[in-house]
Amino acid sequence: MLSRYLLLSAVLIVGVAADAQDRTMLIETNQPDALVFADSLLLGRAGAHAFKVDRGVQAVYVRPEQAASWSILPLEFDVASTDSDTLEFVADFPYYYSLRTVPPGAGVRIDGIEVGSTPLVIARPDPVADSLVVRLDGFEPVGLEPGSRLWNHYDIDLIRSSRHDVAAFRTIAPEKRRRWIDIAAIGVAAAGGAVAVHYKFKADRRYALYEETGDPALRPGIKTLDVKSGIALGAMQAGITVFAVRLIRR
């Protein structure tokens, strides 16, 4: 009976000591779906607001979950330099507007103020609320529909203007990332890699058996498995290539 009591006491002491090693972290963010990492450990979504963080953690990262998050650097917070039991961070991401025109060199105005010429990436603390206009001499001006996502991308083919239509506006909405293409490409790459490894292992095992027994009937099967492994490897490489190209174009 005494031993059970001592064991229970030891467990409680260890639990209290473990809790004492944790710190409370509070996060306020404009992206509640963003992912929170303590070093490389995923803690959850920023919308949870409160997290437990081990005192050994060096840094906290907040990364948006949107498909265009590859274009946006995560927010990093140093936690190793403070001994406070409560950590409080504001993780507000800027809103990006990426504009490319053909031909380039078009002036970009936000609420009537010139902010640069294309190609251009603008970072703002809040979304564009009013007007976003692109103008180039000799071409029709283009009014852009201000997006409210973190990453708002516009590819614009400017149209030469006529003398009687120099003030005409076209309105263009920001392009939405085709996230399903990214997911499909990653899925094909992962599945192709797994299948390639599976068939390669089977071919290697059959070849080892062939070396052991010298049975010529095993040779055609080895070749077939190697071919299947090569096809799966090609599918994996194709998926990686598609995803890499889309990532570069962002």
- The pair of structure tokens assigned to 33 is 């779906």
105: left (phi over 0), alpha (psi -120 to 50) or beta: left
Fold of 21-91: Immunoglobulin-like (2.60.40)
- Which letter, b or e, does each residue of 198-237 get, where b requires 16 or more Cβ atoms within 10 Å of its Cβ? ebbebbeebbeebeeeeeeebeeebeebbebbeebbebbe
Strands 107-110 and 132-135: antiparallel
Report mean pLDDT in 10-residue bins for the chain, 250 residues: 44 44 91 92 91 93 74 88 92 93 94 91 90 92 89 92 59 59 65 70 73 74 72 72 56
Residue type present at position 139: F
CATH assignment of 95-172, given 3.30.70, 1.10.287, 3.40.5, 2.60.40? 2.60.40
- 3-state SS assignment for residue 193: helix
Q: What is the pLDDT of residue 94?
A: 93
Residue type present at position 244: A
Helices 219-249, 179-213: inter-axial angle, 10-degree rounding? 160
